[in-house]
Amino acid sequence: MTRPASAPHDSPYLLGASSAEHRRLLAQGTLLREAAQHLLGRLPLPAPARAIDVGCGPLGILDLLSDTVGPHGTVVGLDNNEQMIIWARQSIAQLGLANVTTTLGTLQGDSQPAFDLTHCRLLLINSTDPAAIVASMAAATRPGGWIAVQEYDWATWHCDPPHPAWDTLKTLLAPVFGGDVHIGARLASLLRDAAGCQDVHTAAHAHYWRAANPCQRLLLHFVDLFDERLRACGIAPHTLATLKRELGDHLAHPATVVRESLLVQAWGRKP
């Protein structure tokens, strides 16, 4: 099913595995929990079912999958980052998820079909070859099973009132982020073309933030994480500092609202 060595689609996670990223990913999971519950509620799975969360990170939706498949079902959390797997095992132990195990590695493109549901969330946006990941998910899915993906589309990520520093930093960040930041817009076609899915469906969720919520400053957080890459592209340090300061002041204003990237969900049945 998996292999520990790098696969052709095995892209490094450029956001890192720091304690701050650990906290951010867990907070992100809490934020997106309701959307994930809605998605899982749409999928008619057999009983007992077997599910896998590809790129599970420190928790992903392992707890939700555990509830979905029930005590007689099984769940696998898969990640190619050793630290993420360590954190996932800690989460599993803390939550008492007896039907969940973890694996360090990647899906093979020639996997034997072993799962009734293969799922990933915010994995494709960090990959240079999302089609290969979706194809490997399809290979691991049993006939009649489901492939489900959740990804952002940065097209909707805006601040109001608009500010030129927001537009400039977002434009500079997109090409160094590591993947297609608009991947959410083409999930349905990926499931049809790369996975051969039938009965493909989509849904979307959005959030709005004001200054009191740390999610409002996520763009600035990403700019800090990708500082070296941005400078390597020729962005002068003083220019970057000025843009960050101007945007920080704008986001701190009580009237400024940030519309988060659209979370797009797509799911389809394997013939």
**What pLDDT digit, counting tens, does each position of 214-226 carry?**
999 999 999 999 9
- At residue 192, does pLDDT exceed 60? yes
Top pLDDT among 49 and 109 is at: 49
Cα dihedral sign, 250-251-253-258: positive
For 34-38, what is the mean pLDDT?
98
Q: CA–CA separation, 91 vs 77, rounded Å?
A: 11
- At residue 41, does pLDDT exceed 50? yes
- At residue 7, does pLDDT exceed 60? no
110 confidence band (pLDDT: 50, 70, 90): confident
Percent above pLDDT 90 for the chain? 91
For 58-85, what is the mean pLDDT?
98
- At residue 156, does pLDDT exceed 70? yes
For 111-140, what is the mean pLDDT?
96
For 210-215, what is the mean pLDDT?
94
Q: Please name the amino acid found at residue 242.
A: T
Top pLDDT among 158 and 11 is at: 158
For 84-104, what is the mean pLDDT?
98
Q: CA–CA separation, 202 vs 198, rounded Å?
A: 13
pLDDT of residue 10: 59
Summarised one tens digit per residue, pLDDT across range 237-253 is 999 999 999 999 999 99
5 confidence band (pLDDT: 50, 70, 90): very low
Top pLDDT among 168 and 2 is at: 168
Q: What is the DSSP string of 39-70?
A: HHHT----SS-EEEEET-TTSTTHHHHHHHH-
- Candidates 112, 117, 152; CA nearest to 31 is 152
pLDDT of residue 224: 96
For 163-182, what is the mean pLDDT?
97
- 228 CB-side CA count, 13 A: 3
Backbone angles phi and psi of 174, in degrees to 5: -50, -50
For 21-48, what is the mean pLDDT?
96
CA distances from 120 to 61, 146, 229, 240, 265 (A): 9, 12, 26, 33, 10
4 confidence band (pLDDT: 50, 70, 90): very low
List domains and CATH numbers for the chain. 2-265 (3.40.50.150)
Query: Strands 257-259 and 158-160: what pairing?
Result: antiparallel
* 106, 74 Cβ separation under 8 angstroms: no
CA distance from start to end of the chain: 20
Query: Which residue in this structure is represented by tokens 């980052």?
Result: 81
Q: Please name the amino acid found at residue 94.
A: Q
For 153-160, what is the mean pLDDT?
98
pLDDT of residue 109: 80
179 confidence band (pLDDT: 50, 70, 90): very high
